[in-house]
Structure 1
Amino acid sequence: MTKIRIAVRKFDPFESTLQKLWDLFCIEKNINVEAEMIPLELHDLYEQTITQSGLKKGIWDIAHLNTDWIFDAANEKAVLDLNPLISQNPPQDYPHGWHQSLLHLQQINNGTYGLPFHDGPECLIYRKDLFENPIEKENFKKQYGYELHPPKTWEEFIEIATFFNRSEDNLHGAVFANYPDGHNMVFDFCLQLWTRGGSLLDSKNQIDINHTAAIEALDFYRQIVNNKNAVHPKSKEFGSVEAGMAFAKGEAAMAINWFGFASMCEVIEDSKIKGKVDIAELPHHKNHQTASLNVYWLYTIGAGSKHQQLAYDFLRFATTAESDKLLTKEGGIGCRKSTWNDPEINKTIPFYHKLGMLHQTALTLPQIPIWPKVAELIDQMVLKAIENDVPSSKLLEETQNNILKIIN
C-alpha cells in the first residue's frame, strides 16, 4: 500500500486540520493511501527536513516549511519547483486568491517552491474587556493622566502593562516568548529595531546590526522582558505557542505575537477569553512608524519524493477556499483573501478582516543563504542581553563581528 510521509509543524490546529483534510482528500479521490504525519518542533523540523536532507532523500514527501527556511531549502535543492505542476493544473484561483505578500518569498530563481499554508503577521493582541472596562479606564486616567487605549508607543506599552499587572490574580501586563529557539527573540528584536526606524541591512544590502537604533532596540527589549512588575514570570520558558496559550487562558492583558494566537483565543476549547480579544498594530517609537513581520508557513514537496504527483494533488486540495476556511475554524490562519473576508469567520473572530491592514506594514527578513546562521547569533545575543548586564553596544559589536566571519 502506498504511504505518504508528512512533516508537520507541531501545533494542535495544524495536526487536526491535516488529518481531516487527508481523510476528505482520500474520499474525494476515491483512493486508499495512508498518510504518516509526524508533528515536529521548530528545531527538529528544520533538522529533519533540510539539515539531514530528509526532503532531498525522499524520507518526507510533504513538509511544512516557513519562509525563513525556504531560500535555504530551494538552494539545497531539497524542495520541488512546483511551476511545471502549477502550469498544468493550477490551484483554485491561483494566484489571485492570495495577497501578493503571501506569494513572493517562495519565488526563488524563477521557481515556485511552496504554496501558502498558514499565516498571520505579528501584532499587538489585547484584552478588549479590560481596556473597555469603565472602572479600569477611570483608574488608569487617574494614575497616568491619559485615556486607556491600546498602546501607540512603547512608553505607553510599559505603563499599560504595569497598570494591568496583578500577579495575585494570575493576570500579568504582558507575555513574551523568550525561549531561545532561534525565532521568537530574533523576531522581537527585529520588531523593536524596525519600529525605531532601524534596519538589519546597510546601504550595500549586507547585514549590519551595530548601530544606534539596534542599541536602543536591545536596551528597551532587555528592560521590558525583565520587568517583573509588567511581564508574565514564565515568559523565559515560553515559545510562541506557550505564550499564546498563556494569553488564551487569561493570564495576560497584552501580547506581541502572531495574529494566529489572537484568532486561536476565539476557537479553541481551552480559551477562557472568547469574545474578549482584539488586535491592533504594534507600538512604535514616538518619532517612527509601526511595523509588522510577515513570516508564513508553506506546503512544500520533497525533491526526492517518489509520490510527487500525489503530493501535489493533495496540496491543490489542501489550499482550496474550503480547506483554507477549515484550517481557520480549527485554530490556524487561512491564507486566502476569501477567508479573511468570510462573514462566518468574522462572526466567530470579529477582527479577522484586519489581516489586510497588518499586511500593509509587514516587513520580511532578508532572503540570504546565511540568514539561519545570523538568526542563531541574534538569538544568542538577545538571550545574553536578558540574562546578564553586558552593555548592549558591546553585545551588538561582538555579534556583528561574528556575522562578518560568516559572510567572509
Structure 2
Amino acid sequence: MGEVLRIAIRRFDPFERAIARQFADFAAGQSVEVALEAVPMDLNALHASLFAGHGLADGSFDIAFLNTDWLAEAQAGGLIEDLEPWLAKAPIPDFPDAWSPSLTGLQRFAGGFWGMPYHDGPECLIYRRDLLEAAGLAVPQSWEAFHAAARVLNDPAGGISGTVLALFPDGHNGFYDFCIHIWSRGGAPFDATGRPRFTGTEAEAALDFLRTLARDRDAVPADVADLDSVAAGLRFCEGRVAMMANWFGFAALGEAADSPVRGLIDVAPLPAGAGGESISLNVFWVLAIGAGSGRKALAWDFLRHCATAGMDRITTDEGAIGVRRSTWADPQVNARVPYSHRLDWLHTHARHIPVRPDIAAISGIVDDMIGAAIGGDRPTPELLAEAQARVEALAA
C-alpha cells in the first residue's frame, strides 16, 4: 500500500460521505497509490483526541476537522500547520475571491492562515412551512413569538415537538445560543477586547429564556439537555420538530431525496429580543493540517483538491454546506435547496466568537451554567456572576 492519509472527522454522515467521495476523486488523479483512513468522532471526543490526546502534534492525524473556535487554541499550542507558505508554494487559483470574506477571515491571525474552509452553516430559523401555514402562524420575528408558536405547534400525539434545543454539554450549541440571545437583545457577550461579559440585563434575559423554554414540556421534548446539534437537526429532518434555531445545513439535509420533510422547509432570520435585532452566528468547519503530520505535502494537495468548485459541490450534494459562492448560487443546488442563495445574506448579518485560545474552556463554563439553570432553581444573576468569575479566573 502507498501513503495513507489519516483524517479526524466530526461525526456527521454528510461529512463522512463527502470526504470519501472527494478522496476517491483525489486518489484517481495521483501518480502513486494513496489511501484514506477517516476517523469520525463526536465533538467532545474529537477535541480531546486532537488536543489533550496530542493527535495533531504526534502525527496521529494528518488532517483534522476543526471548528473555527478551536483554531486559536490549536495555533497557540503549535498543533497545526500554517497554510500561508503552502498557499504561496502551490496556490489555489481563485482563492480567496471565490469565497465570502467571512469564511476566510477567522483563520487569519498571528501572522498565518490556519485552515481551509470546508463546511458552512450560519445559524438561522429553520421551520416547517406547512405546519405554520396550517396553524395560521406567521414566521416568528421575536423570541416571545417563537416560544408562543412552539407551544401552538407542539403535538406529542402526532410525534411533533414545537421546537427543540441542543443543550448537550459539548461546548457547541448551548454556548452559541447563549451568545446569540445576548446579541439579539442588544447586548454583547464579549467586549471590544474579546473579554467575556456574561452579566447584565441582556445576559439575564438570555439565560431566563433558555431556562424557561427548556423546561416547557408544552413546547420542547423532555430530552433537550441530552441532544447535541446533530441529534436535534436530524430530529427535524425526520419530521419530528416544527421549527428550530440551528445551523443552516440541517435545512439543506432535510431536502434529501429520501427526507419525509423534503419540499416543506424554509429558513428565515433568527428572531430578536426586546431592544435588539436579528443576527446570525458565523462558526464553520475548516480542514487543518496537523503539525506532527509526516505527509504535509500530500495533505495540502488534498486540501487544494477539496477547495475546487466540483469538490465543494460534493460537500453540498452529500448533505453538508459547501463554502464557495459558486455552490451557493448553483442553479441545481438551489433547485434542490431553494434557499441556498440566502447564505450570502446570512453572512452579512453574522457575528463571530472572538479569537481566543481558551474558548473551549469558556464554552464549558457556559455549559455548566446552563445545566445548573435547567436543573435547579438558583437565581439567574447568581449563576451568571459565578460563570463570569470562572471565565475571569482562566486569565488570572
TM bucket, shorter chain: over 0.9
Pair 1:72 & 2:73 matched: yes
2:367 alignment partner in structure 1 = 379
Change (3 A) 1:178 1:2: same
1:126 alignment partner in structure 2 = 127
Q: State how 1:13-52 maps to structure 2 within 5 Å.
A: 13-52=14-53
CA distance in 2, matches of 1:171, 1:370: 38
CA distance in 2, matches of 1:335, 1:247: 23
CA distance in 2, matches of 1:268, 1:363: 33
Give the deviation of 1:268 after TM superposition: 5.9
CA distance in 2, matches of 1:158, 1:207: 27
Gaps of 5+ in 1: 138-147
1:232 alignment partner in structure 2 = 221
Counterpart residue type for residue 160 of structure 2: L
CA distance in 2, matches of 1:205, 1:106: 16
8 Å CA contact retained: 2:71, 2:357: no
SS of 1:350's equivalent in the other structure is: coil
Pair 1:390 & 2:390 matched: no
1:251 alignment partner in structure 2 = 240
Give the 4+ runs in structure 1 shifted more than 4 A. none
Give the deviation of 1:205 after TM superposition: 4.1
SS of 1:77's equivalent in the other structure is: coil
Pair 1:183 & 2:172 matched: yes
CA distance in 1, matches of 2:170, 2:368: 9
CA deviation digits over 1:255-288, x for unaligned, max 9?
110000110000263x210000000000011321
SS of 1:252's equivalent in the other structure is: coil
1:145 alignment partner in structure 2 = none
Q: State how 1:9-408 maps to structure 2 within 5 Å.
A: 9-133=10-134, 136-137=135-136, 148-202=137-191, 205-267=194-256, 269=258, 271-408=259-396
Percent identity reads 39
CA distance in 1, matches of 2:348, 2:47: 29
SS of 1:266's equivalent in the other structure is: coil
Change (3 A) 1:218 1:6: same
CA deviation digits over 1:81-119, x for unaligned, max 9?
011110122124100010000001111211011100001
Change (3 A) 1:366 1:17: same
8 Å CA contact retained: 2:194, 2:354: no
1:144 alignment partner in structure 2 = none
SS of 1:8's equivalent in the other structure is: strand
Change (3 A) 1:268 1:246: farther
Counterpart residue type for residue 153 of structure 1: S
CA deviation digits over 1:357-381, x for unaligned, max 9?
1111111112112221111101100
Change (3 A) 1:204 1:117: closer
What is the TM-score of this pair, normalised by structure 2? 0.97
What is the TM-score of this pair, normalised by structure 1? 0.94
8 Å CA contact retained: 1:268, 1:330: no
Counterpart residue type for residue 15 of structure 1: E
